[in-house]
Amino acid sequence: MPDLPPRHTPVLAAEVLTALAPAPGKRFVDGTVGLGGHSAALLAAGAQVLAIDRDAGALRQAAERLARYGDQVRFVHADFRSLKTILNQPGWSEVDGILVDLGVSSWQLDEPARGFSFRHDGPLDMRMDTSQPVTAADIVNTWEEEPLAEVIRQWGEERYARRVAYRIVQARRQTPIRTTGQLAAIVRQAVPQRGPQRIDPATRTFQALRIAVNRELDGLETFVSEATDVLAPGGRLVVITFHSLEDRPIKRALRREAGIPDDDAPTDFWGRRVTPTPRLRLLHRRPIVPTAAEVASNPRARSAKLRAAERLP
């Protein structure tokens, strides 16, 4: 593995390389380049990389750290879900592999000014693309109690979502909620705590707000379809997810592209589910997860799942 930035360890790096099989002359898209850990490994193997990220700050750091690879790598500030538009350039209409890592980067979590984490008090922001207008502070200070509770319930999977939303609304009537520390304290007071806690009670609410701010679950199934469109025969798609909310649509879309009908598939005259025409071959029956050794050295990898598929001829 090439030298990596301090505190930055790409998740499932060896497994990504095995799935993508980079080699000189091959072209890959890293749709969430972050600080460049996965891309560095692809470039070190001689491949060309189109590095995409919607976080301009992360993209700048990746460009600095991968500068030694020269024109072997190109950088694009964009959302990976705009893949077809991004690839509308000479030589990139078909690619040998696509990687997206849907997790929040260590750099984003560790930077108090970005407002992703309550471990450090900072502005309640949470935007991956800081050019976007809506922040987490906007949501907690302006949304009505009912939609706020629904977001926390659905995307945070928080059983006490109504109580959390009520406490947020009551608190903001006294003073606007502007920092991660303020919000975390409100949520901790709202969520009953009995016995030892596996995670901080604020974790689920912060996840829900981050998903809402960045619209993280929008268009994931469409992305898999469009990624399949631009893969060359034998090309591979690799997706790393970190929670079930994003893993389910990715799994469903990959199975559909592999010709495996789901429960919502249309039926024929005899009531049999119509099998989609397969365009992908799933590389694993089950998702790849980190080893115990990787989790011990990088605890943020513990919930990662890697799914991979190959484009059929």
Tell me whether residue 263 is annotated as binding: no
CA dist., res. 269 & res. 165, Å (int): 48
Asked if residue 271 belongs to a known ligand binding site, the reply is no
Supply 208's token pair. 């829900």
| Whole-number Cα distances in Å, 286 to 97, 178, 302 | 20, 42, 16
Q: What is the largest CA-CA distance in the chain?
A: 62
Question: Minimal CA–CA distance to 279: which of 310, 312, 256?
Answer: 312
Backbone dihedral angles phi then psi of residue 269, each to the nearest 5 degrees: -60, -35
Residue 37 · residue 14 · CB < 8 Å: no
Q: β-pairing, 305-311 with 280-282?
A: antiparallel
Tell me: is residue 38 an annotated ligand-binding position: yes
Rounded-to-10 torsion of CA 240, 10, 69, 77 = 50
DSSP secondary structure of 38-68: HHHHHHHTT-EEEEEES-HHHHHHHHHHTGG
Residue 37 is assigned to a ligand binding site: yes
The response to whether 36 counts as a known ligand-binding position is yes
What is the length of the chain?
A: 313
3-state secondary structure at position 236: strand
173 contacts 250 by C-beta, under 8 angstroms: no
Extract the annotated binding site for S-adenosyl-L-methionine. Answer: 36-38, 53, 80, 101, 108
Binding residues: 36-38, 53, 80, 101, 108
